[in-house]
Amino acid sequence: MDEPHLTVSGAARRLGIAPATLRTWDRRYGIGPSGHARGRHRRYSAADMARLELMQRALMQGAAPAEAARYARTSVSAVRPGSALAPPATAEDAMATPDRADRPGALGAVVPPPPVLLGRGGGGASLRMPGAGPRARGLGRAALAMDSTAINRLVEDSIATDGLVAMWDEVARPVLAAIGDRWATTGRGVEVEHLLSQCLVAVFGTRTSASSAPADPVPPPARPVLLAAMPTELHVVPLAVLAALLAERGVGCRSLGAALPADAIAAAVRRTAPAAVVLWSQLPSTADPTVVAGLPVTRPRYRTFVAGPGWDGAALPPGVGVLRSLVDASERIGAAVLR
């Protein structure tokens, strides 16, 4: 029986990319269907799909397109028929099972590891990230391409490999900082920052929900931790990371989001009787010690913490803790709640 071949649209669906991207890879970098004759429809074989998968994975790990194409062309011989990279028995099977974990482009697909040379170079597209690793450069490229699917896949892959703290410090933060620098310099890119932030919050939110699922039997409910941004603070991605990290320790959180008015923060404290309150400030202009001083006194009492670079040098009320890092925050809040 003849080997099944996929159309351009079928191959694009399996990889989770646009058909136009496949045509560009073919035209610019020679990563296209083998044996394609002019005037005939493109059809992708198992070996063709293996090349596409290798190029996609290399791009996501920080390689430039031309470099990724060279890697794909020279490495495809390592993929054997019947591996996770080979297409299913028919093109219809490929379309009927788009979410299989072993399809090309899926997280955890079995591919040869990219060569060390993929770690060379700086930046990634127009983002300046001196010293950033391959994962950060790959995330930067995905963000600039506004590719939420690739962003989510890279973030999940990094968390699974390196953990939440390393993913945040070594992958996400450098990209967010570079996008911020680009916006400050050129006035462009705020849409990129918004998309990346939303993707990060969604990934961390999913992990928070999964980690906080009740065990069997259900333990007595613990007092929660309230996480809130200051009244004029719009950046809340670090709070989502902190919520996920606390959830891994079994600490329940109530995340109140961005730009919460001071009276709403106070009302939330009265309603929930929290074990701790964390107020986030990214910029000095949003760090207002009077909001901290105005928090209500409750019984039982709670610990108050501030976090974020905006609080550096701020005159805080007595007894307010300053969280300097994710690890510091996780340990100190965990100690306050789980004692």
Q: Quick check: pTM over 0.75?
A: no
Q: How far is CA 316 from CA 97, 226, 259, 288, 308, in A?
A: 56, 19, 20, 9, 14
| pLDDT score, position 270 | 92
Window from 44-58, 101-115, 216-230 with minimum mean pLDDT: 101-115
Position 7 in a domain: yes
Beta bridge partners of 112: none
How many domains is the chain built from?
3
Q: Can you give the residue range of the structural domain that contains 196?
A: 129-210
Residues 86 and 151 in one domain: no
330 within domain boundaries = yes
Q: Give the whole-angstrom CA distance, residue 235 versus residue 106.
A: 30
The verdict on residue 117 lying in a domain is: no
Higher-confidence position of 22 and 304 = 304
* Residue 216, domain member (yes or no): no
Question: Of 135, 172, 168, 147, which is closest to residue 57 (Cα–Cα)?
Answer: 135
Residues 187 and 164 in one domain: yes
Residue 99, in any domain of the structure: no
Strand partners, 306: 279, 322
Q: Provide the β-strand partners of residue 101.
A: none
Measured CA to CA, the distance from residue 134 to residue 62 in angstroms comes to 5
Q: Are residues 240 and 290 in the same domain?
A: yes
Q: What is the mean pLDDT of residues 69-87?
A: 54
Q: Is residue 298 one of the residues assigned to a domain? A: yes
Same domain for 242 and 192: no
Which of 108, 86, 100, 107 is closest to 6 using CA atoms? 86
- What CATH number is attached to the domain comprising 47? 1.10.1660.10
Name the least confident of 17-26, 196-205, 283-292: 17-26
State what percent of residues in the chain have pLDDT above 90: 17
What pLDDT was estimated at residue 212? 52
What pLDDT shows up at residue 172? 92
Tell me if 292 is assigned to some domain: yes
- Three-state SS string over the chain comes to CCCCCECHHHHHHHHCCCHHHHHHHHHHHCCCCCCCCCCCCCCECHHHHHHHHHHHHHHHCCCCHHHHHHHHHHHHHHCCCCCCCCCCCCHHHHHHCCCCCCCCCCCCCCCCCCCHHHHCCCCECECCCCCCCHHHHHHHHHHHCCCHHHHHHHHHHHHHHHCHHHHHHHHHHHHHHHHHHHHHHHCCCHHHHHHHHHHHHHHHHHHHHHHCCCCCCCCCCCCCEEEEECCCCCCCHHHHHHHHHHHHCCCCEEECCCCCCHHHHHHHHHHHCCCEEEEECCCHHHCCHHHHHCCCCCCCCCEEEEECHHHCCCCCCCCCEEECCHHHHHHHHHHHHHC
Task: Report the CATH number that the domain containing residue 175 is assigned in CATH.
Answer: 1.10.1240.10
The pLDDT of residue 210: 63
In the predicted model, what is the mean pLDDT of residues 19-46? 77
What is the percent of the chain with per-residue pLDDT over 70, rounded to a whole number?
A: 75
CB atoms within 10 A of CB 155: 23
Among 188, 210, 232, identify where a domain stops: 210
pLDDT of 118 higher than 90: no
The closest of 241, 239, 244 to 209, measured between CA atoms, is 244
pLDDT at 62: 60
pLDDT tens string 219-242: 444 688 999 999 988 888 888 989
- φ/ψ bin of 227: left (φ > 0), alpha (ψ from -120 to 50), beta (otherwise): beta
How much is the pLDDT for 162?
86
State how far the Cα of 136 lies from the Cα of 329, in Å rounded to an integer.
Answer: 24
Least confident of 32-36, 91-95, 155-159: 91-95
Question: In the prediction, which pLDDT does 207 show?
Answer: 80
Residues 135 and 189 in one domain: yes
Total residue length of the chain: 339
The structure tokens listed for 246 are: 């606390």
Asked if residue 142 and residue 78 are part of one domain, the reply reads no
Residue 317 lies in a domain: yes
Residue 284 and residue 202 in one domain:
no
Q: How far apart are CA 123 and CA 113, in angstroms?
A: 22
Residue pair 156/85 in contact by the 8 Å Cβ criterion: no
- In the predicted structure, residue 99 carries a pLDDT above the cut 50: no
Instruction: State the burial class of residue 156 (Cβ atoms within 10 Å of its Cβ: 0-12, 13-18, 19+).
Output: middle
Task: Report, as an integer, the average pLDDT of 7-33.
Answer: 81
145 shares its domain with 70: no
* Domain co-membership, 8 together with 60: yes
Lowest mean pLDDT among 8-17, 129-138, 169-178, 303-312: 8-17
